[in-house]
Amino acid sequence: MELVIYDTAEQAAAGAAQRIADLIADAPDTFTLGLTGGSTSATTYEALRSLSTGWERVEAWLSDERWVPHDHDRSNGRMAAETLMDHVQARFHRPRWSAELEPADSAAHYEEVLRSLHTTKPPDLILLGMGEDAHTASLFPGSEALEEDTRWFVSNTIPETGEHRLTSTYPLLWSARRLMVITAGEKKAPALRDTFEGNETPIGKIGEGDAEVEWHVDRPAVSLLS
């Protein structure tokens, strides 16, 4: 596990963007990139799109998505498209959505897509954020997807709100070559402290697999670490 600390959220986003661009540039062939939502990620994507790298070799996908139409303002896919994917020459795979489609069916189809992208090698890089409750992707405290041990991508209901989400599971995250958590702000400090002090949190479990884990954070986010 590697912890990289920046003075500000903007610097964390810029540093993470440069790291992503370098990893893509160094890849010898197709590079698969899992994207995430959140305001810090949006800032990262805006910085990333201006960097020169091997976009034509990138197969991008979403580590999680809200169960909303593709053009909805809460869609992670819409945010990723508007801040990054519409500006580069990568391919972008999004889960299916329609009013007649069940979230579980969309998740099952998207799992097939993800497995087809990774038939010969694991995911190269999956980007993740962290919520104030230490959730990552859409793996929320108390939700059923935390216990999934086979599937790569599932529908998940958030206990507190009843909202439907689609999410990567630990088996998929653990299989990646590299996971990169990008988070910032003092509101994230308690969750980051609990995670780094060994308390059981959803994001704390990402280090239990084979993936190398990098944290790119600002100083307010680590303000409670001893």
Q: What is the pTM of this model?
A: 0.97
E-assigned strand segments in the chain: 2-6, 31-35, 58-62, 64-66, 91-92, 125-128, 153-157, 164-168, 178-183, 212-218
Rounded CA-CA distance 63/145 in Å is: 13
Rounded CA-CA distance 107/194 in Å is: 30
Closest C-alpha among 70, 73, 77 to residue 45: 77
Closest C-alpha among 32, 86, 34 to residue 54: 32
The DSSP secondary structure of 169-183, one letter per residue, reads -HHHHHHSSEEEEEE
pLDDT in the model for residue 3? 97
pLDDT (tens digit per residue) in 154-169:
999 999 899 999 999 9
Closest C-alpha among 88, 44, 59, 43 to residue 180: 44
pLDDT in the model for residue 160? 86
pLDDT in the model for residue 226? 78
- Spatial neighbors of 28 by CB under 8 A, at least 6 apart, are none
2-199+216-222 — its CATH code? 3.40.50.1360
Could you tell me the residue ranges of all domains in the chain? 2-199+216-222
Write out residues in the chain with pLDDT < 70, as ranges: none
pLDDT in the model for residue 135? 97
